[in-house]
Amino acid sequence: MKTASLLSLILLLGSTAVGQSDFGVLAIWSPPDTVRFNSETIPQVRIYADEDNTEEEVSILLRIGTEYEETVVDTTVVPGDTITVAFPLWEAESAGNFAVLCSLFSEDDILFDNDTLTAEVHVLPPWLDFSVDALLDLPDTTLWRGHGHQGNSLGVRQQ
């Protein structure tokens, strides 16, 4: 999960004049840093509205790589509140590393430095995903006899 630093949030919120609006992206909660190939995830982000806001609606864009781009329009945020916003389902159809970008838009927003947050998601290739599943399904009594020793660093019990 990618989050804005606490210090930057305090500085940004502290610089908002009374009666002026500010919204910000706090975190990209989902997708997580690593997902399995062909897995489905409901992307989620956390946003906040400064307590001095006069406006309560924002639009939020979420982009994952070049294949997913969704916008949630006219999301209501009560001044002083923090909310989680969910987007339509995303399926990890390609392996690799993908940039995740979340941006919010409001006509009355006065601070733009906190309106965008980025992260990265790594989609495991199908062959690696299969291998991980196979290793996780091994019985506790599995012996590892490679390279002249028993046991391994995966937590499989030695005999």
Amino acid occupying residue 102: C
**What is each CA distance from 67 to 11, 63, 98, 101, 130, in whole angstroms?**
35, 8, 10, 12, 24
The region of weakest confidence among 32-36, 99-103, 105-109, 140-144 is 140-144
Highest mean pLDDT out of 50-59, 63-72, 75-84: 63-72
CA dist., res. 43 & res. 63, Å (int): 10
Nearest CA to 101 out of 87, 113, 117 is that of: 117
**pLDDT mean over 97-124:** 88
Q: What is the pLDDT of residue 121?
A: 96
Q: What is the pLDDT of residue 69?
A: 97
**Where do the domains of the chain lie?**
2-124, 127-159
User: Is pLDDT above 90 for 110?
Assistant: no
- The CA-based diameter of the chain, rounded to the nearest angstrom, is 71
User: Is pLDDT above 90 for 103?
Assistant: yes
| H runs (alpha helix) in the chain | 6-14, 126-136
pLDDT band for 48, please (50, 70, 90 cuts).
confident
Question: 2-124 adopts what CATH topology?
Answer: Immunoglobulin-like (2.60.40)
pTM for the whole structure? 0.67
Give the number of residues written for the chain.
159
**pLDDT mean over 93-122:** 89
